[in-house]
Structure 1
Amino acid sequence: MTLPPRLAAAMAADRRAAALAQHPPPAELDYLADRIGPEATLAVVEQFGGTRIPIPRHPNQGSKLARAIGLAATQALSEWRGGEDVKIPLAKVWRIRLYRAEGCSYTEIARRLGMGESAVHKHLQLSGQTRPAQASLFD
């Protein structure tokens, strides 16, 4: 059964909000999250992670950053560091946990982050977010 597009989008937004509440941005992203919030921080990381991005002095709707996170969030960054380049981390561990909390499969997470499924499993295992594949015979 296929859901109507608006309902599917609303459900995805609810899953994202719940996942962000459960897994807020890590300390390395406080400089962004404190200014633009967790949703826009995730959008910046997804779009620009691993690069330096120029923060416009006078943002407008047409700027690459504004198209990714909206004009209000871009203006907040502009007030903070307009005219400068800001390094955006990849934040893979946070994104793995977040995407898993949203219900993404290991395969989907691996594809989104350009890594292997085993690396996704390892990160989740280290954070205690995996279940054992099978119960121990002697427990």
Structure 2
Amino acid sequence: MIKPPAHIAWMVDAVGEDSALRFIESAAGQRLTIPRKAAGSRLAEVYGDDVASVICDRYGGDFYIVPMCKTWRIKLYARMGLTVNEMAARAGISFVAVHQKLASGDGRPERIRPKDERQTSLF
């Protein structure tokens, strides 16, 4: 697991990396009005019960500006094995910005590569 930024760690801990990533990708930069209760809300309908529940528990009755978390997202994309162009498109930043984010901090995480049993090793 790639350590999430402190401002979304609570969400990642509650719903997991994949659900948090899907939420951030779909709502990044938006200002959401958070209902007091998640059950039956538009928030739950759009983003799912698990995500809506943790957001309502934390920000119910208030607004929440969804962070962009670009560096965290880029690291997750790199681990998924996406190309730099694919990472740029998904994060909404330039090719150059992806390289800059990968060069800063911990660098590029190891890719998760599926093993193709049909291919024999050359080494």
Q: How does 1:62-77 map to 2 (within 5 A)?
A: 63=42, 65-77=43-55
Secondary structure in structure 2 of the residue aligned to 1:24: coil
Following the alignment from structure 2 to structure 1, what is the Cα–Cα distance between the partners of residues 58 and 19? 15
Specify the SS of the correspondent of 1:123: helix
Structure 2 unaligned residues grouped into runs of 5+: 110-123
Shift of residue 57 of structure 1? 2.0
Is residue 2:67 matched to residue 1:89? yes
Q: Is contact 2:11–2:20 with CA below 8 Å preserved after alignment? A: yes
* Cα contact 2:36–2:61 (8 A) shared by 1: yes
| Structure 1: runs of 5+ lacking an equivalent | 1-20, 131-139
Identity between Structure 1 and Structure 2 (%): 31
TM superposition score normalised by structure 1 = 0.65
| Larger displacement relative to structure 2 (75-84 or 92-101) | 75-84
Using a 3 Å threshold, how does the CA distance of structure 1 residues 55 and 116 change in structure 2: closer, same or farther?
same
Q: Which of 28, 40, 52 matches 2:31? A: 52
User: Are the structure 2 counterparts of residues 115 and 67 from structure 1 closer, same or farther at C-alpha, using a change threshold of 3 Å?
Assistant: same
Q: Which of 94, 113, 121 is equivalent to 1:116?
A: 94
Point out the structure with the larger helix share. Answer: 1
Q: TM-score with structure 2 length normalisation?
A: 0.72
Calculate the aligned-residue CA RMSD, in Å: 2.2
